[in-house]
Amino acid sequence: MLKPPPRGLATGVAEHRRDREAGRVVYPVISRRSGGLSLGINLFPDAKLCSFDCPYCEVFPIAPGMPGFSIVELESELGAFLDSYDQGPAPEPLRDICLSGNGEPCLSPHLGGVLDLLARFRGDLPLRLGRPEIVLISNSSGFSDPGVSDLLERFYRDEGLVVWAKLDAGNERLFRAMSGLGAAGGLSFDGIVAGLLAFSRRVPVVVQTMLCGLDGAAPSASDLEDYSALLSRLVREGARVREVHLYTFARPCPSGRCSSLDDAALAGAAAFVQASTGLRVRAFGRSDELPPASDGAA
Ligand code: SF4
């Protein structure tokens, strides 16, 4: 059971979204996957910037006129977070500082400067806030860019950067549907997989996968088999996968095309993937993390 967040911090999906859509660069939330208080960093407060167009993307159109991202504003909002932190009834430790929000962080020209600032911020945190991980959530499309992969590897080595890498499909057809890139999209499935493999040989990743209904159709048994086979191949070929997170549609999204898998279907998928790949698999249903497959719950 998570404790309440510090006063004034977002507790739920709606508040979290409102904070990002209001152009906030720093948005504290209680995160199921982090298991507590997480500080989201939004590198795109003025407009979504992403190489994908996922049908389940929760980024709604942003009101015009928002100022663009600046390191100065980030520093100021981090300071404001610290000022507000002790006002809560029972402030809990900060589990992570998470780069995500309104787009693909690896596309930001500020990424290196932001990682530098977050490392300094974490180093200066008072002991009562703990030592949060710095997490980067990526759609995996930038890993084949040497500038990006070198930068992330350096922060992994120096600061223990944790990278969550999206892989929503084990075949081209589902990849195209889930990435929103369509049949003629510029990024190739094979290219994304090759970039993920090369990067995860250098930096361990948490693989993140959305399993949801799309236009009324859930992923098929053969989609899951393709996905497990791809994960197994990646590991055989040297990918370092810390764990796999399967999650389902749980937040409102502008496309209106997606639906949640129920807990039983998600738990069954998690048990299958875990058994067939040997990887640790965590599953996040609509409202909560599901018990691990090894507990016999899936
Ligand atoms: S990768 Fe993330 S930000 Fe980009 S479209 Fe997909 S869900 Fe949205």
* Rg of the chain in Å (alpha carbons): 19
Helix 146-159 × helix 189-202 angle, to 10°:
30
What's the predicted TM-score (pTM) here? 0.90
Which domains are delineated in the chain?
13-295 (3.20.20.70)
Would you say 138 and 101 are in contact if contact means Cβ atoms under 8 Å apart?
no
pLDDT the model gives residue 8: 39
| CA dist., res. 246 & res. 293, Å (int) | 12
Task: Write out pLDDT tens, residues 64-119.
Answer: 888 999 999 999 999 999 888 877 666 678 999 999 879 999 999 999 999 999 99
Give the sheet arrangement for strand 205-210, strand by strand: 26-31, 36-42, 94-100, 133-138, 162-166, 205-210, 241-247, 281-284
Closest CA to 165 of 145, 187, 136: 136
Task: Give the β-pairing of 205-210 and 133-138.
Answer: unpaired
* Mean of pLDDT values over 213-223: 95
Strand pairing partners for 165? Answer: 138, 207
Q: In whole angstroms, what separates CA 67 from the centre of its chain?
A: 24
Cα of 58 from ligand 1 centre, angstroms: 8
pLDDT the model gives residue 65: 87
- Cβ of 44 closer than 6 Å to ligand 1, yes or no, is no
Tell me which residue has its CA closest to atom 3 in ligand 1: 103
pLDDT at 9 over 80: no
Percent above pLDDT 90 for the chain: 69
Pocket test of ligand 1: the residue of 49, 52, 106, 208 to mutate, having most ligand atoms within 8 Å of its CB, is 52
Cα of 220 from ligand 1 centre, angstroms: 22
Q: Residue 123: pLDDT band by 50, 70, 90 thresholds?
A: very high
Cα of 52 from ligand 1 centre, angstroms: 6
Task: Write out pLDDT tens, residues 37-51.
Answer: 899 999 999 999 999
